[in-house]
Chains A and B, each alone.
Chain A
């Protein structure tokens, strides 16, 4: 097991290298650079100063020189300076990363809390009115675009009913560490995470439902019935455990999403997280931030798939990682 994990981690090195080259080239291929916009917006800027600044920042060096400089700094934990915010990318990310992780964990917990019971009901009482209702909901939610749904939620519960704050991650007047601060933080999280969770349940519901429907007619379930196992135990000990396997494997990939954040949700709820920063940075050609973010989510994806494999081998004895 340890050997397997080590081997997977070693295998990540070339994967990350290829990823870094790709990201670097793609970022460079974007039209313009961080200074292009400045010319139009800033009357004091002239072409002469711009050219000097480009030279100073090393933007005129050959690509491979720029790449080696970038990767060297990256390995030292230095993600570079944000051209727009004029501060180190690591500082810029630190606070937002926590916000994003907090939001994503909330979404994840809510999604599973809603989807798992619904999926179980749906699969166990297949074709009942409850099942039809749940399947109906999951399809409608699947067809609803997140940005429209989130806007409706924001409009309805944020502005019309005023139940939830409409933006930010915490009430700025509150002092960090007090009870009110944490309650306010939680309050700010609720609406965006509920909006995200309510329409991302379809995968889990449908997976769980069809797994349960498949599993409940399997031979080993009949064996359990022939042993005289009561119906409730048939479900908890035999059907559900087997049906949860693919969902458990899913979980690893979901963790990837924790770091990537949600571009739409954070933008709509003006929630200061990674997703919102990502969108802004692309708009402003702040490519040191963009490349750092893509690198981080690339790493998260690789870690996520590894986690999936580890989770699956932990819950399914047939999958032994040697």
Chain B
């Protein structure tokens, strides 16, 4: 399976200014997205996954953000492009799906106009052609009455329908890459499954590379081809989805998987990861960033400068602590 790579993230560091100081929310992340592939980025809230997603097409406020490294797309480094040049790529070559469909749409604009808007700037279609294409898109994302929905305002649609509209906006110009930032988080469970199905279908039809940002391991299992696990701004484990679920190595990955309730888990034994992701200003910058949350582990099991190592073909893990890791309560589900 030799897939063409479409987007390369190289040593990306995203820092935000807080009280005159810059703090890296994404620290030295390198990833490659291939065509017709879903690359999932998983982690808890605050681990830097959304910051990573938004920085790819430069959506952070420039006056408070410092971007280092490179995001290579079609031979250009997106991080050094002007806003004008980025606008040629945003919405056309790279589409974005947002988390909350309730707020991601302009309340004063009809759904149809909002989908057409990206065609306004990226195509030379006439008004009637744009309308025709918009109706096709609405149909494609599974909206029952495209012609009626075209003239509807966002508040007249349900959450699931709105998310379909957000997806239609993202795919309006047949992008090579779609960035989906928590596309199912704000939806009901039943709607979630439909949206995942839809995204998966669209990906296969369009041969698109999808970067899927999520904290939901169920979504990962259903959609992803490869998975990057992020913690405190760094990738701690990278593997294909099968390997990650059957042979997780990094303590963080194992803890995440352990925290997923299953039918075999009774309420008492549900695993909880100790502590929280530290706030950006208090992030440990040296050593294994996860060590504070597995405090029962001996300090000597950590590396002083943990790096991401390929421990088996295409399976990368950071730090050496995984070799000795165990859960304090003993058990780990198979």
What is A's interface to B at a CB cutoff of 8 Å?
218-220, 222-231, 237-238, 241-242, 315-318
Contacts and interface: CB of A to CB of B under 8 A. Distances in A.
A238 B155 contact: no
Interface string B86-117: 11111110011010100111111100001001
A184 B2 CA distance: 83
Interface string B159-182: 000000010011010000000000
B122 interface: yes
A222 B55 CA distance: 12
Contact of A226 (B88, B91, B100, B153): B91
Among A222, A242, A315: residue with most chain B CB under 10 A: A222
Interface string B235-270: 000000000000000000000000000000000000
Given A219-B98, A222-B59, A223-B105, A317 B155 contact: yes
Contact of A223 (B86, B108, B169): B169
A223 B87 contact: no
Contacts of A218: 103
Contacts of A242: 106-108
A228 B98 contact: no
A230 B57 CA distance: 14
B118 interface: yes
Nearest to B122: A228
Given A222-B59, A228-B88, A229-B121, 6 more contacts: A220-B107, A224-B117, A226-B91, A238-B109, A242-B106, A317-B153
A37 B91 CA distance: 78
B67 to A, nearest CB: 16
12 contacts: A223-B106, A223-B114, A226-B59, A226-B91, A226-B95, A226-B96, A226-B98, A237-B117, A238-B106, A238-B109, A315-B108, A318-B153
B333 to A, nearest CB: 37
Listed from nearest, the 4 A-B pairs whose CB atoms lie closest are A228-B91, A227-B91, A228-B90, A226-B96
B78 to A, nearest CB: 13
B100 to A, nearest CB: 6
A241 B108 contact: yes
Contacts of A228: 86-92, 118, 121-122
Among A224, A228, A230: residue with most chain B CB under 10 A: A228
B155 A220 contact: no
Contacts of B166: 223
A223 B104 contact: yes
A227 B94 CA distance: 9
B108 A317 contact: yes
B83 interface: yes
Contacts of B95: 226
A316 B90 contact: no
B108 A316 contact: yes
A219 B118 CA distance: 16
Contact of A227 (B83, B100, B107, B169): B169
Among A225, A226, A315: residue with most chain B CB under 10 A: A226
Contacts of A229: 87, 91, 117-118, 121
B89 to A, nearest CB: 7
Nearest to B61: A217
B90 to A, nearest CB: 4
B106 A220 contact: yes
Nearest to A230: B87
Contacts of A231: 83
A227 to B, nearest CB: 4
A226 B107 contact: no
A222 B86 CA distance: 14
Contacts of B57: 226
Given A220-B107, A222-B59, A227 B98 contact: no
A299 B173 CA distance: 55
A242 B98 CA distance: 20
B103 A227 contact: no
Nearest to A241: B108
Contact of B121 (A222, A227, A316, A318): A227
Among A219, A220, A227, A315: residue with most chain B CB under 10 A: A227
A242 B83 CA distance: 23
A316 B153 CA distance: 10
Given A227-B90, A231-B83, A220 B153 contact: no
Nearest to A223: B104
Nearest to A216: B61
A224 B83 CA distance: 13
B172 to A, nearest CB: 8
